[in-house]
């Protein structure tokens, strides 16, 4: 994270809730300072073979124990002298949060969480929480990052305490997307820990409340909670133990299986209301020659300037993100249309491309949210200084016309997004798409000439090429420092 | 031996759902409705566990006879 919630020299505190330890960004390392109660199990799991397959496949963040002098050094820097273990974690290159994911990404994060819970169960351990906040994405691969989620279980314990958290932060948001056409963005920007059954009950259509899966996930718990409220005593929240660990394992394994079935059942197959998820197939205004010209321009720019990190702003279904990824770059693709981003995610996953697709509206990028507005940093904070090259293909006219942003403000944004270069496709006033967005308004001040004059304040035009028979121009721009 | 084991497990069915003294860890909200639902499901699944065990026991008994 870039905005420091708690800064003291080079120290930034990145976690705020778990009493077992805290995560710090200190001296350019991600270090978890672990309190004595949690240290022995974490030390054991780091060395035991149980979780090695997850680490080898990249679905659990690689971590190593720091030696005693280093631990004491960091203990002083972070003001955590009581910590008896310090663990350094590998850094995921670009952080993303559930409010930027597609339903399919949330499903995959949930699958990973259940996989870990099932694996740990056989070893007498478990997860003490089950939230999408414990998962990041490396390209299209979910990575579990919170080693302090692992806990030693009482092997006779029949209950999985994070069950409710799993339902409210994975299953209910997906169900609301499916049944109520809500977006994950609106759910997670307003509800860090998901939506509980009492709230969800009133959001779900009346008939759906009485049918699975809403009946078991939302309605029955909602009715039962009324009884719980009447009881309202601590006896509800005590451990329930079986006479034999085998019974407890049997019960929990069945519950994990049932949660996994529900997870796949509530994930919508497509995102309702998407206007752009089939754009390349049916509405793309380029013929094959023009498309080849555009692809050649972009590929040359990526290769000649050896871009290692690329942001595809307005990635649509990921055609040009794929082109960039195939040159060897790490790509983050953003689009405001969740359906288009879901298609990009499916493409990246099936073709094993290093593309992280995110639902982000460039005109209203994800804000900083959470504790002290620092728990989850804004998209622009995370993007600043990250990308060698930014693709802005046929996206600028949307910002200028639909969002009413000025050319000068557009250049300011472009200066933040890129470290070096931008490949930009300018759609001019002669293009049908431009005219469609005008809707009768006068945008005569936006022309190729005024655009180039504005761009010149922050960028140098390295190369430009008009697309054959179109009022569209491709630019390769270099940032002035 | 098998009979003793089986009767001990039958006693275990009664234990499902009983309360013990440890309080839940205070880090996450375990909910109330889902917790009650889990308790009900645990009791049902506990029953299923013993039914499967009896079937296996009876099946094993007849296969030995055979």
For A296-350, how does the pLDDT look when each residue is reduced to its tens digit (9 = 90+)?
999 999 999 999 999 999 999 999 999 999 999 999 999 999 999 999 999 999 9
B33 touches chain A (CB under 8 A): yes
Give the per-residue pLDDT at A277.
67
pLDDT (average), residues A107-116: 98
Task: Look at A174-188, A234-248, B6-20 and tell me which has the smallest mean pLDDT.
Answer: B6-20
Residue A470 has pLDDT above 50, yes or no: yes
- Largest alpha-carbon pair distance within chain B? 56
For residue A111, whether the previous peptide bond is cis, meaning omega lies within 30 degrees of 0, is: no
pLDDT (average), residues A143-148: 96
Q: Round to whole Å and give the CA distance between A41 and A37.
A: 9
Q: What share of chain A has pLDDT > 70, as a percent?
A: 94
The pTM assigned to this predicted structure is 0.90
Q: Round to whole Å and give the CA distance between A144 and A150.
A: 11
pLDDT (average), residues B33-39: 89
* Cβ pair B31:A164 closer than 8 A: yes
A146 touches chain B (CB under 8 A): no
Residue A362 has pLDDT above 60, yes or no: yes
pLDDT (average), residues A81-87: 95
Give the per-residue pLDDT at B11.
40
Residue B4 has pLDDT above 50, yes or no: no
More confident residue, A231 or A10: A10
And the tokens for A468?
A: 């054959």
* Cβ pair A162:B30 closer than 8 A: yes
**In which band, very low, low, confident or very high, does the pLDDT at B29 lie, cut at 50, 70 and 90?**
confident
Give the per-residue pLDDT at A17.
87
Q: What is the residue whose two structure tokens read 């019960």?
A: A251
Residue of B nearest to A223 (CA): B33
A169-204: per-residue pLDDT in tens?
Answer: 999 999 999 999 999 999 999 999 999 999 999 999
Closest CB to A244 among B12, B38, B39 = B12
B4 touches chain A (CB under 8 A): no
For an interface test with B, give the residue of A236, A246, A257 to mutate (most B CBs within 10 A): A236
pLDDT (average), residues B54-62: 84
A215 touches chain B (CB under 8 A): no
For an interface test with B, give the residue of A15, A154, A164 to mutate (most B CBs within 10 A): A164
Q: What is the DSSP string of A66-82?
A: PPHHHHHHHHHHTT-TT
Give the per-residue pLDDT at A310.
98
More confident residue, B12 or A135: A135
* Cβ pair B42:A243 closer than 8 A: no
pLDDT (average), residues A129-152: 96
CA distance A241 to chain B (A): 7
Would you call A139 helix, strand, or coil by DSSP? coil
Give the per-residue pLDDT at B56.
86
Contacts of A250 in chain B (CB under 8 A): 45, 49
Q: List, in sequence order, every residue forming a beta bridge with A423; answer none if it has no partner.
A: A391, A476
Closest CB to B32 among A154, A236, A240 = A236
Give the per-residue pLDDT at A443.
87
Mean pLDDT of chain B: 67
Give the per-residue pLDDT at A239.
78
Mean pLDDT of chain A: 92
Residue A285 has pLDDT above 90, yes or no: no
Residue A156 has pLDDT above 60, yes or no: yes
Residue A67 has pLDDT above 50, yes or no: yes
> Which residue intervals of A354-430 are DSSP H helices?
379-383, 396-397, 407-417
pLDDT (average), residues A87-108: 97
**In which band, very low, low, confident or very high, does the pLDDT at B66 lie, cut at 50, 70 and 90?**
low
**What contacts 24+ positions apart, CB below 8 Å, involve A317-320?**
A317/A276, A317/A277, A317/A278, A317/A279, A317/A280, A317/A343, A317/A344, A317/A347, A318/A343, A318/A344, A318/A347, A318/A348, A318/A355, A318/A357, A319/A280, A320/A295, A320/A391, A320/A393
**In which band, very low, low, confident or very high, does the pLDDT at A232 lie, cut at 50, 70 and 90?**
low
CA A213 to chain CA mean position, Å: 26
Contacts of B8 in chain A (CB under 8 A): 243
């Amino acid at each position: 994270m870039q905005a420091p919630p708690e800064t003291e020299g080079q120290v930034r505190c990145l976690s705020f809730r778990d009493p077992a330890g805290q995560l710090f960004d200190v001296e350019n390392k991600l270090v978890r300072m672990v309190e004595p109660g949690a240290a022995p199990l974490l030390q054991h799991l780091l060395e035991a073979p149980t979780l090695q397959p997850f680490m080898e496949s990249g679905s659990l963040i690689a971590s190593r124990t720091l030696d005693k002098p280093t631990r004491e050094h960091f203990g002083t820097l972070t003001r955590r002298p009581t910590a008896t273990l310090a663990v350094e974690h590998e850094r995921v290159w670009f952080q993303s949060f559930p409010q930027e994911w597609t339903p399919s990404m949330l499903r995959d994060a949930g699958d990973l969480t259940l996989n870990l819970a099932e694996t740990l169960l056989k070893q007498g351990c478990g997860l003490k929480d089950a939230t999408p906040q414990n998962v990041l994405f490396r390209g299209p691969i979910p990575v579990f990052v919170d080693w302090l989620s692992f806990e030693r279980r009482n092997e006779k314990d029949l209950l999985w305490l994070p069950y409710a958290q799993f339902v409210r932060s994975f299953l209910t948001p997906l169900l609301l997307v499916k049944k109520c056409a809500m977006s994950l963005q609106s759910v997670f920007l307003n509800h860090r820990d998901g939506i509980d059954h009492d709230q969800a009950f009133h959001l779900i259509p009346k008939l759906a409340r009485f049918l699975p899966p809403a009946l078991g996930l939302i309605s029955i718990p909602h009715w039962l909670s009324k009884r719980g409220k009447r009881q309202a005593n601590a006896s509800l929240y005590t451990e329930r133990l079986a006479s034999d660990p085998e019974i407890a394992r049997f019960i929990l394994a069945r519950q994990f299986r049932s949660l996994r079935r529900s997870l796949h059942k509530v994930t919508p197959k497509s995102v309702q209301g998407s206007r752009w998820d089939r754009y390349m197939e049916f509405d793309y205004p380029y013929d094959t020659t023009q498309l080849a010209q555009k692809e050649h321009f972009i590929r040359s720019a990526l290769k000649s300037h050896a871009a290692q990190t690329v942001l595809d702003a307005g990635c649509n279904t990921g055609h040009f993100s794929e082109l960039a990824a195939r040159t060897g770059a790490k790509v983050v693709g953003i689009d405001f249309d969740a359906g288009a981003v879901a298609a990009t995610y499916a493409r990246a996953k099936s073709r094993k491309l290093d593309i992280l697709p995110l639902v982000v509206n460039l005109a209203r990028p994800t804000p900083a949210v959470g504790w002290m507005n620092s728990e989850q940093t804004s998209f622009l904070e995370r993007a600043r200084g990250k990308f060698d090259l930014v693709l802005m293909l046929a996206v600028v006219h949307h910002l200028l016309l639909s969002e009413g942003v000025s050319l000068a403000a557009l250049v300011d944004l472009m200066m933040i997004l890129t470290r070096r270069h931008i490949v930009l496709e300018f759609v001019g006033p002669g293009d049908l798409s431009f005219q469609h967005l005008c809707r009768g308004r006068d945008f005569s001040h936006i022309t190729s000439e005024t655009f180039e004059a504005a761009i010149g304040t922050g960028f140098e035009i390295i190369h430009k090429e008009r697309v054959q028979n179109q009022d569209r121009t491709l630019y390769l721009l270099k940032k002035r420092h | 031996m098998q009979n003793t084991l089986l009767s001990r497990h039958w006693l275990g069915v009664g234990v499902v759902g009983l309360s013990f003294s440890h309080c839940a860890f205070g880090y996450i909200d375990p909910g109330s409705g889902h917790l009650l639902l889990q308790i009900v499901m645990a009791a049902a699944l506990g029953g299923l566990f013993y039914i499967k065990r009896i079937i296996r026991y009876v099946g094993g008994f007849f296969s030995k006879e055979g």
